[in-house]
Every structure is written in C-alpha cells, then in structure tokens.
Amino acid sequence: MLTRSELPENPVVLAVRDPDGCLHTITTERVRGGKIRMICTCDANRASGWCEHAIQLLCTRYDSVVDPSDDLEFRFEDVVMGTPLADMADEVDVALADFHAALRDMDAKRPSGLDRDQLRRIAELATDLADTASHLDATLTRFKKKLAAGLGS
C-alpha cells in the first residue's frame, strides 16, 4: 500500500452510470493515517451511508464506470488496495450475493400448497432468507460505520 504522499493522484474521481441511466460521481481519497474517504452522489449513498457503486469499485469491478481506462483503474486501486475498507467491501459483496441467492430461491422454490412438507420447505427457505438478511445487515452496519469514520489501515 502506497503512502498518501506517494499516490500519483489523490483524490480519484470516477463517474458511474446506473442500469437506469442515472449518472453519479464517486470521489475516493486517502486521508491521514491511511484512512479512506469515499463519497458517492447517488440517492442510496445519501440515504443509507453506502451504495453498491462503492462496493463494486472496491471489489475492482468497473462495469458501471463511464469512460473506463486502465490508467484510471490503476489510480483508483493505488488509493484503495491493501486497505481494510477494500477487505470489508469484499465481505459486503459476499453477504449481498448470499442474500440475493436466498431471495431468488424463495421466489423460485416456494411451494404453492400448504401440506406438511410444503410448509416445512417454506420454513426452510424463510429461515435461509432471514439468516442471510441478518448477516447482510450486520455486515453493512460494520461497513457503514467504518466508511463514515474513514476506515484506518
């Protein structure tokens, strides 16, 4: 991990586009003590203190970046790689994937009847969904607190 003074560009500003076409700006910078400050202009970030744009970028997925380039990605990674914030984003990413999988299972595998076996299956699916939702909630709570505080290295 480079020190703040060694970074060739700090902050790094990226434009991202939602699937619905909305354009947002994410500003990421390394501040004192190796902490990261990351701010997105989207409504989700303003309302919840985090957004999937930030998670995607911290997990080095650049699909939503407007005008991506190797140089821009390299500069962004210089700022965030090797920091606890990037590691925490990986945890959030896994928890989000687990939750979405459980939600899809609930929708796809939910029985329509109410006999004993079908009720048990519904209970199993609901338990899986509740467990993944609780895990996601706990993971997001930790991520938001660290993101709001500028997570130190």
pLDDT in tens, 36-48: 889 999 999 989 8
Asked if residue 4 has pLDDT above 50, the reply is no
> How many Å separate Cα 87 from the centre of its chain?
11
Does the N-terminal peptide bond of residue 11 adopt cis geometry, omega within 30 degrees of 0?
yes
> Would you tell me how many other CB atoms lie within 10 Å of the CB of residue 109?
11
121-128 long-range contacts, Cβ below 8 Å, gap at least 24? 128/102
> How many Å separate Cα 72 from the centre of its chain?
19
- State pTM to two decimals: 0.80
* DSSP structure class, residue 87: H
* Lowest-pLDDT choice from 57-61, 123-127, 144-148: 144-148
Asked if residue 2 has pLDDT above 70, the reply is no
**What local confidence, expressed as pLDDT, does residue 33 receive?**
73
Asked if residue 89 has pLDDT above 70, the reply is yes
* DSSP structure class, residue 65: B
